[in-house]
Amino acid sequence: MAVVLRKVLGSVLHRSGSSSSRHSPELPEDHPPLGDLNLIPTDVLVQILLLLGPRDAARTSSVCKSWRALVSDNAIWLYFIMSEQEPWDALVFAETHLREVPRLCFVPPSQLSFMNVYSKRAMVPGSIIIDGGSGYCKYGRSKYCFPTGRCATFLEFGNLESPMHARLHYFFTTIFSRMQVKASSQPVVVSLPICYVDDTESARASRKQLKEAIYSVLFDMNVPAVCAIDQAVLALFSARRTSGIVVNIGFHVTSVVPILEGIVRHDIGIEIVGQGALKLTAFLRELMQQRNINFESLYTVRTIKEKLCYVAADYEAELQNDTEASCEVVGEGWFTLSKERFKTGEILFQPHIGGLRTLGLHRAVALCMDHCLAAEATPDNRWFKTVVLAGGTSCLPGLSERLEKELCKILPASMSKGIEVIPPPCGTDSAWYGAKIVSSMSTFMDSWCVTKKQFRQMMRRNMIW
């Protein structure tokens, strides 16, 4: 069917092209001599265009003005994009909110030509995405639906006593080797780890030093272009937001990161040191030892935590319930937990249970919201009422609902109204998916990437931040 349609299209283009060449270089009038094709109803013509595919559909825009208007319809090109398994909401978010950097802007879909977007996206090269993470790194190709490999994060990779430049070079070389790709073949998107969240002079210097080192190492390896974005910002993008508070429960530290229009507000962020995935795993180990449950390694405990643990909606009420459940760990057999299942996650809200003297998660987020309100960053104070969870531990069932409930309890009514806590949009890989959204949009190479020449110019002007 499509072959026949292409032959008909070819003859139509030949006739309209020869006719227009005899008279004027402009498009033919609305009713050129197309014979019976003039009688085709619009809805049928749309179906024909969808059958032809994007390349041949675009060619029909040269037949006449009315066909050009029809072919340019956004719905047709959104169909073509979605047929290539691109999540339509991610695409629309990227092309309407992330087109310009560093200032993000909103472009209504009605003012955006998805025909042009499709053609530009088709020319965007595939990228290598490297999400540094806090517990482990995820990497893979942007054209794939998920990361294809994992390894230690570059903050803990190799000999920790070696200079940062040498460790980063070993880290990136290992990833390129495992992926069996040449460093010079594709752009690289790197997520910058959430570290030094405060706004002190030493923290700013550390962030700048790390970013410069990443650019320098990758360009020394002949990577054609680099895009380095904060991990928290990418996690926010994966939730289709450009402003909000990202709560990243990392390996050692939980970071509460306010982000306004894609820019991290380090001056009002909060860090909870010692409250992270490692502490929860260690606490579960203690609880299991108290019940004389034998296990071989901390990896076993972490696996049990991921399979059985959750956050109680009401801790006191849950203590009265039967919560026993079992899971199997390959090579070690079956394990059964009861109240340990929800006691483990409870230290996020009641840190003293685990021997920690620090803020509970809900109080840290509430304090950050107070900082956002006091900063008067924008007249609209709704931007920080969206809270996005990130990190492996944030995938615990019930965490988002419990955090939202606790925030509504301790915040004034005027502040608590409209609060929304969003669970990790893509699980443990949220930052990786945020990088995938950025790397596939039409303006990626022009607006988001830095080339080696641009990097050297920025270094001369001291513009790397």
Supply the pLDDT for residue 101.
62
Given a cut of 50, whether residue 22 has pLDDT beyond it is: no
The answer to whether the CB of 189 falls within 8 A of the CB of 128 is yes
Query: How far, in Å, are 167, 177, 287 from residue 159 at the CA level?
Result: 7, 19, 33
Per the listing, tokens 């230690």 go with 152
Given a cut of 60, whether residue 174 has pLDDT beyond it is: yes
The 10s digit of each residue's pLDDT in 372-405 is 999 877 777 889 999 999 998 999 999 999 999 9
The pLDDT-based confidence of 159 (bands split at 50, 70, 90) is low
- Residues 224 and 325 reside in one and the same domain: no
Supply the pLDDT for residue 63.
72
Structure tokens at 191: 């997520």
Q: Is the peptide bond before 33 cis (omega within 30 degrees of 0)?
A: no
Beta strands in 293-365 (DSSP E): 325-329, 333-337
Residue 262 domain-assigned (yes or no)? yes
Residue 62 domain-assigned (yes or no)? yes
| Tally of domains in the chain | 4
Question: Averaged over 282-287, what is the pLDDT?
Answer: 96
The pLDDT-based confidence of 314 (bands split at 50, 70, 90) is very high
Given a cut of 90, whether residue 122 has pLDDT beyond it is: no
Residue 188 burial (C-beta neighbours within 10 Å; 0-12, 13-18, 19+): buried
Share of the chain above pLDDT 90, in %: 51
- Residues 169 and 297 reside in one and the same domain: no
- Residues 229 and 374 reside in one and the same domain: no
Residue 77 domain-assigned (yes or no)? no
Supply the pLDDT for residue 193.
83
- Residues 420 and 293 reside in one and the same domain: yes
Supply the pLDDT for residue 133.
76
- Residues 31 and 43 reside in one and the same domain: yes
Given a cut of 70, whether residue 366 has pLDDT beyond it is: yes
CA–CA gap between residue 426 and residue 30 (Å, rounded)? 48
Given a cut of 70, whether residue 110 has pLDDT beyond it is: yes
Per the listing, tokens 């070079």 go with 169
Given a cut of 60, whether residue 225 has pLDDT beyond it is: yes
Supply the pLDDT for residue 464.
54
Question: Averaged over 287-303, what is the pLDDT?
Answer: 93
- Min mean pLDDT across 87-96, 179-188, 270-279, 348-357 is at 87-96
Residue 391 domain-assigned (yes or no)? yes
**pTM for the complete prediction?**
0.85
Supply the pLDDT for residue 376.
75
- Residues 153 and 90 reside in one and the same domain: no
Given a cut of 90, whether residue 340 has pLDDT beyond it is: yes
φ/ψ of residue 39, rounded to 5: -90, -5
φ/ψ of residue 258, rounded to 5: -80, 135
Query: Which range marks the domain in which residue 394 is found?
Result: 242-424
Task: Compute CA 400 distance to the chain's CA centroid, rounded to the nearest angstrom.
Answer: 18
The pLDDT-based confidence of 221 (bands split at 50, 70, 90) is very high
Supply the pLDDT for residue 183.
95
Q: Of 88 and 29, which is predicted with more confidence?
A: 88
- Residues 284 and 407 reside in one and the same domain: yes
- Residues 297 and 213 reside in one and the same domain: no
Average pLDDT across the chain, whole number: 85
- Residues 332 and 402 reside in one and the same domain: yes
- Residues 304 and 334 reside in one and the same domain: yes
Given a cut of 90, whether residue 217 has pLDDT beyond it is: yes
Q: How many Cβ atoms from other residues are within 10 Å of residue 219's Cβ?
A: 19
Given a cut of 90, whether residue 320 has pLDDT beyond it is: yes
Supply the pLDDT for residue 87.
77
Residue 465 domain-assigned (yes or no)? no
Q: Of 282 and 59, which is predicted with more confidence?
A: 282
- Residues 223 and 247 reside in one and the same domain: no
Residue 169 domain-assigned (yes or no)? yes
Supply the pLDDT for residue 23.
42
Q: How far apart are the first and last CA of the chain?
A: 56
Supply the pLDDT for residue 75.
83
The pLDDT-based confidence of 18 (bands split at 50, 70, 90) is very low
Q: Of 185 and 462, which is predicted with more confidence?
A: 185
Given a cut of 50, whether residue 333 has pLDDT beyond it is: yes
Residue 23 domain-assigned (yes or no)? yes
Structure tokens at 319: 């203590």
- Min mean pLDDT across 69-73, 109-113, 168-172 is at 109-113
Supply the pLDDT for residue 10.
57
CATH number for the domain that contains residue 194: 3.30.420.40
The pLDDT-based confidence of 21 (bands split at 50, 70, 90) is very low
Residue 78 domain-assigned (yes or no)? no
The pLDDT-based confidence of 274 (bands split at 50, 70, 90) is confident
Supply the pLDDT for residue 451.
95
Q: Of 444 and 201, which is predicted with more confidence?
A: 444
CA–CA gap between residue 51 and residue 161 (Å, rounded)? 60
- Min mean pLDDT across 24-28, 46-50, 94-98, 458-462 is at 24-28
The pLDDT-based confidence of 292 (bands split at 50, 70, 90) is very high
CA–CA gap between residue 199 and residue 208 (Å, rounded)? 12
Given a cut of 60, whether residue 28 has pLDDT beyond it is: no
- Residues 368 and 413 reside in one and the same domain: yes
